[in-house]
Structure 1
């Protein structure tokens, strides 16, 4: 639609320019031919129209130059002038048409490559979502999650999986940056975690091991924040470690008392050599809700530049905490979207909600 509008505008300029030159040649300048000025509208015409149309315009401009220009001293020179002008117009039109065709071929090649790139991104996005875990149903706990990427590909990651009959691990992470570069790390994180989680004793060891893997795969410009938790369903003890990630919100049942799990952990993954990580633990009760999130939730802005913030997140969980984990995830996602309004989503939004039954 935009290309047609531009072509129409250029054709209007061509007609106006031809009329202006003809009028000037006829009325204003009486002794000197201005037919050479028709070269500009002919060149513009060749940019957006087929060659036959440009040839026809060249003939018309030659005729206008002959009619409105000063009279020739003889028929011979009149013919010579017209032939020279027509030949010049045709050469310019032909050369500009070649340039326009080359431009169109390049534009078509760019569109083809863009379409291929978009198809590749769509396939990569499908793979990325397949890496994410499917809903998990275990006695005593209810887990749900959602990830809304700011682009087709995202740099957030979450997972939950049982490591034994009574133990389930829950993790959320945020890779620096957005788009394809950040998304490429996500499958590697998933594979490394699932391969090593069952062999290591706790979240701190898992994070430390992943820190070493990350340093081997990337440079220091790429880093990852992560929160890793391990829940024993029998004892209801939650063991966790935080590597520079947003502290999850733990909402106690029967009240709106909210705790931020930020006591233990260590630095961001992938930056410091010899980084040390430590575990903390807390006992969960029936009805408690643990909400893990990335900064795409709390840092989402509205039209006024205000952020959604942790306090609004707590309010939503408090108000809708009686529902299932999936319902809590849906309510938070809807609240963030309603708060943002027309403001574009600036970062990936990821939520994991664990509810003790």
Structure 2
């Protein structure tokens, strides 16, 4: 539709230019032929019209130049002038038509490459979604999650899976950057975590192991922030380690007070040599809600340039704490979207909510 509008506009310009040259040649400049000025509208015509149409316009312009230009000294010179002008117009039209055809071929190749790239991205996005965990139902635990990418592919990652009958691991991570480059690390994270989690005793050991893997497969410009937690459903003990990620929010059901799990764990993954990580433990109670999130939640801006902020996130969690984990996820996502309004999503938004039953 856009190409048709451009073609229509250019054809209008062609008609206006031909009329302007003819008028000037007829009434304003009486002693000199301005027929050579028809070259411009003929070239414009050749950009958007078939060659026969352009040749026809060249013939019309030759006729106009003969009629409105100064009279030739003889019939012989009149014929010569007309033949020269017509031949010139045809050559210009032919050359510009070749250029236009080459442009169209290149544009078609670009469209085909773009379509192929978009198909590849769509397939990659499908693979990325399949890496994410399926809904998990375990006694004593209600868990839900959501990831909304800023582009077709995202750099956020989350997972939750049982490592034994009584223990479940929950993880959230954010790869530096966005798009395909960041998304390529997601499957690697998922495979490495799932393979090693059952072999290692604590979240800090899992993160330490993953840090070494990332250093081997990435460069120093790529890093990952991660929060890794291990919950014993029987004792309700939560053991966790934080590698430079946003501290999760823990809402205590007994007091509706929230706290951040911001105890030191260690640096971000994939950069520092010999990085060390430590664990922290605490006991949860029935009704407590643990919310893990990436900065795409709290740093989403509205139309006034304000950020959603951790305070607003706390308010939503506290207000909806009586609902299920899925309801908390849905309400937080809706609150961020309403807050943003027409502002474009700048970063991947990922939430994981765990509620103790």
TM bin (shorter chain): over 0.9
Please, which runs of 5 or more residues in structure 1 have no aligned partner? none
Q: Which residue of 2 aligns with 1:178?
A: 178
CA contact (8 A) 1:303 1:341 kept: yes
Residues 258-299 of structure 1: CA deviation (Å, up to 9, x unaligned): 010010310010110010100001100000000000000000
Residues 70-126 of structure 1: CA deviation (Å, up to 9, x unaligned): 000000000000000000000000000000001001001100110111111011101
Q: Which residue of 2 aligns with 1:261?
A: 261
Q: How far apart in 2 are the matches of 1:236 and 1:255? A: 18
Q: Which residue of 1 aligns with 2:145?
A: 145
CA contact (8 A) 1:240 1:264 kept: no
Please, which runs of 5 or more residues in structure 2 have no aligned partner? none
Q: Which residue of 1 aligns with 2:50?
A: 50
Residues 193-229 of structure 1: CA deviation (Å, up to 9, x unaligned): 0000111110111001000000111100000000000
Give the match's secondary structure for 1:136: coil
1:234: Cα distance to partner? 1.0
Q: Which residue of 2 aligns with 1:353?
A: 353
Instruction: Give the alignment's Cα RMSD to 1 decimal.
Output: 0.6
Q: Which residue of 2 aligns with 1:81?
A: 81
Q: Which residue of 2 aligns with 1:97?
A: 97
Q: How far apart in 2 are the matches of 1:285 and 1:56? A: 86
Q: Which residue of 1 aligns with 2:323?
A: 323
Give the match's secondary structure for 1:311: helix
Q: Which residue of 2 aligns with 1:224?
A: 224
1:254: Cα distance to partner? 3.4
Q: Which residue of 2 aligns with 1:119?
A: 119
Q: Which residue of 2 aligns with 1:274?
A: 274
Q: How far apart in 2 are the matches of 1:264 and 1:172? A: 17
| TM-score, structure 2 normalization | 0.99
| TM-score, structure 1 normalization | 0.99
CA contact (8 A) 1:250 1:290 kept: yes
Q: Which residue of 1 aligns with 2:200?
A: 200
1:241: Cα distance to partner? 0.4
Q: How far apart in 2 are the matches of 1:259 and 1:40? A: 72
Q: Which residue of 2 aligns with 1:8?
A: 8
1:255: Cα distance to partner? 2.8
Alignment of 1:247-258 (within 5 A): 247-258=247-258
CA contact (8 A) 1:168 1:230 kept: yes
Q: Which residue of 1 aligns with 2:65?
A: 65
CA contact (8 A) 1:30 1:69 kept: yes
Q: How far apart in 2 are the matches of 1:13 and 1:37? A: 14
CA contact (8 A) 1:250 1:259 kept: yes
1:342: Cα distance to partner? 0.6
Q: How far apart in 1 are the matches of 2:203 and 2:154? A: 24
Q: How far apart in 1 are the matches of 2:254 and 2:56? A: 84
Give the paired residue count. 357
Q: Which residue of 2 aligns with 1:312?
A: 312
Q: How far apart in 2 are the matches of 1:86 and 1:160? A: 76
